[in-house]
Amino acid sequence: MNNIKQQKVSEVQKKQNKINTNNKKMFTATSTSKIVSFSFLFLLSVVWIIPVIWTMLTSFKLESEVQTVGFKILPVQWVIVNYVDVLTNTASGSIVRWFLNSLFISTVHTILVLIITSMSAYAYSRLKFKGKDFLFWLLMSAMMFPSVINLIPLYKIVSSFGWINNALAVIVPGLSGVFNIYLIKQFMMGIPKEYDESARVDGATEWVIYTKIILPLIRPILTVVALFSFTASWNDFLWPSIVFNDVDKMPITPALQLLQGAYDIQIAHLMAAAIISIIPTFLLYLFAQKYFLEGLSLSSGVKG
């Protein structure tokens, strides 16, 4: 009796020991990989952060200091004169104006994207109608089409609407995109049909179901779509540079190219302009980082 007990005890002990050594092994393995990973990330992050920091510091330096070879990292004298100059100079177009143009364009574009794509996604995920599957398939396959081919005809269409040098030229065409519909539809599939079906039985119209039941439930994905639409619109470069030739009407992203010509080698001024131009997207990132990062995993179809 005793013997058997002892045997069992020693077996348990052996097992315990084995687990312990395994744990130890695993522990050292993970801690080495943590150290290696940290060193790698640390070194690489220096490369990543230097451009940002250097730009910021340079924007607070005197132009004469930047132009002197044999520079220092920190400004010898901290000045805001570059910002004042860039903000008040209107000879080559006003950066304040461009900033406001962009703010208007990106905000209106984002609101319209939310309304139009969520309505469409609602129909494709919840309603029954003729040709639904075919239409959705058609939209999805359009994503494979290389949009570079559309560029020139799109210009003709926009200009025939009289939208050259008009904010509509950069607000409206992007609303034809299909990716956000797919994204929102996918999210809606995760909402139990019982929610809207019981409302339907009670006689609620589709519009009421969409606005009162579905919209509040899909708020997370709408936030993601809003953030990405806003930043994409803010950062758009090629298309606005084609449809705007009036300097005053331009959004800020293509306008920076004009500044590059205007300020030429006044580097500290250019750095100040670059910093001003990234404030909105930077702030959005600061406050809604979580949504940006989650949204990306959603859009690549990664699910847990």
Partner 1 sequence: MYNKKNKNLTPYAFIAPHLILFIIFFAIPAVFGIFISFTNWNIMSSPKWVGFQNYYEILLNKDSTFYMQFHNGLKNTVMFVIFTVPVSIITALSVALALNAKPKGNKFFQSLFYLPSLLSISSVILTWHFLFNRNLGPINNIFNLKINWYGQQPFTWIAIVIITVWWGIGGNMVIYQAALASIPKELYEAADLDGAGAIIKFFKITLPSMKNQLTYTVIMTTIAQFNIYGQPLMFSKGGPKGSTYVLLMYIRQLAFGSGESIAGLASAMAVMLGLCIISVSSLQFFLLRNND
Tokens 């019981």 sit at which residue? 198
Binding of partner 1 by 235 (CB under 8 A): yes
Binding of partner 1 by 254 (CB under 8 A): yes
Binding of partner 1 by 114 (CB under 8 A): no
Phi, psi of 131 (to 5 degrees): 80, 10
Q: Which is nearer to partner 1, 3 or 160 (CB)?
A: 160
Q: Please check whether residue 55 is in contact with residue 269, taking contact to mean a CB–CB distance below 8 angstroms.
A: no
Q: For the purposes of burial, counting CB atoms within 10 Å of the CB of 200, is it exposed (0-12), middle (13-18) or buried (19 or more)? A: middle
Binders of partner 1 among residues 122 to 141 (CB under 8 A) are 122-124, 127-129, 132, 135, 139
Q: Sign (positive/negative) of CA torsion 101, 103, 104, 105?
A: positive
* Least Å from the CB of residue 199 to partner 1: 14
Binding of partner 1 by 175 (CB under 8 A): yes
Residue choice 60, 66, 83, 114 for contact with partner 1 (CB under 8 A): 66
Q: Sign (positive/negative) of CA torsion 41, 42, 47, 52?
A: positive
Residue choice 27, 38, 104, 137 for contact with partner 1 (CB under 8 A): 38
Contact stretch for partner 1 (CB under 8 A) within 76-84, 93-101, 213-221, 272-280: 272-280
Q: Please check whether residue 60 is in contact with residue 79, taking contact to mean a CB–CB distance below 8 angstroms.
A: yes
For the CA atoms of 7, 11, 17, 21, the dihedral, rounded to the nearest 10 degrees, stands at 140
Residue choice 10, 14, 40, 100 for contact with partner 1 (CB under 8 A): 40
Contact stretch for partner 1 (CB under 8 A) within 4-12, 13-21, 187-195, 296-304: 296-304
Binding of partner 1 by 30 (CB under 8 A): yes
